């Protein structure tokens, strides 16, 4: 590709119970090395627990406060707020939750995989799914 593309915000879809708009990906604009999306977490909402196979994720928190549970059994947690960055390595189970019951939270999500959602794997605390290549279970 040898041209610059503008991708206008389209209609958000729902992924993992969150409002999700893909802006850059292989499908949207032919990206070959990354994807970037805008996610809105409604008040009090919790995403499905999951992990990413083979790619890193970086998140920039635009608004609100989000608790992200992570690791084996999702036993650890961090809280991000507007202006914070969050890095999620490949294979680390995680689950974001908007801590506010009245205000949405929003973030920009970037991944070093242009296929966006193709390698998102559900993670279940109760079944203790084995997470490949990480030693986590």
The domain of 56 spans 13-122
Rounded Cα gap, residues 76 and 50, in angstroms: 14
pLDDT reported for residue 12:
61
Q: How confident is the model at residue 101 (pLDDT cuts 50, 70, 90)?
A: very high
Average pLDDT value for residue range 36-46: 93
Decide which of 8 and 96 is more confident: 96
Residue 133 in any domain: the answer is: no
Question: Among all chains, which residue has been given the structure tokens 């041209």?
Answer: 3
Residue 82 in any domain: the answer is: yes
Domain count for the chain: 1
Rounded Cα gap, residues 9 and 134, in angstroms: 35
Residue 96 in any domain: the answer is: yes
pLDDT reported for residue 79:
98
Residue 58 in any domain: the answer is: yes
User: Domain of 72: which CATH number?
Assistant: 2.60.120.10
Residue 137 in any domain: the answer is: no
The answer to whether residue 48 scores a pLDDT higher than 50 is: yes
């Amino acid at each position: 590709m040898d041209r610059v593309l503008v991708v206008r915000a389209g209609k958000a879809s729902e992924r993992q119970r969150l409002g999700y708009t893909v802006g850059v990906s292989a499908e949207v604009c032919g990206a070959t090395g990354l994807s970037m999306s805008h996610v809105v977490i409604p008040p009090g909402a919790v995403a499905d627990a999951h992990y990413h196979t083979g790619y890193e994720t970086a998140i920039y928190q635009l608004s609100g406060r989000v608790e992200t549970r992570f690791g084996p059994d999702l036993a650890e947690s961090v809280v991000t707020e507007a202006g914070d960055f969050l890095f999620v390595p490949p294979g680390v189970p995680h689950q974001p939750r908007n801590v506010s019951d009245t205000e949405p939270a929003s973030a920009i999500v970037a991944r070093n995989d242009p296929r966006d959602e193709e390698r998102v794997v559900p993670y279940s605390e109760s079944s203790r799914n084995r997470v490949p290549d990480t030693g986590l279970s």
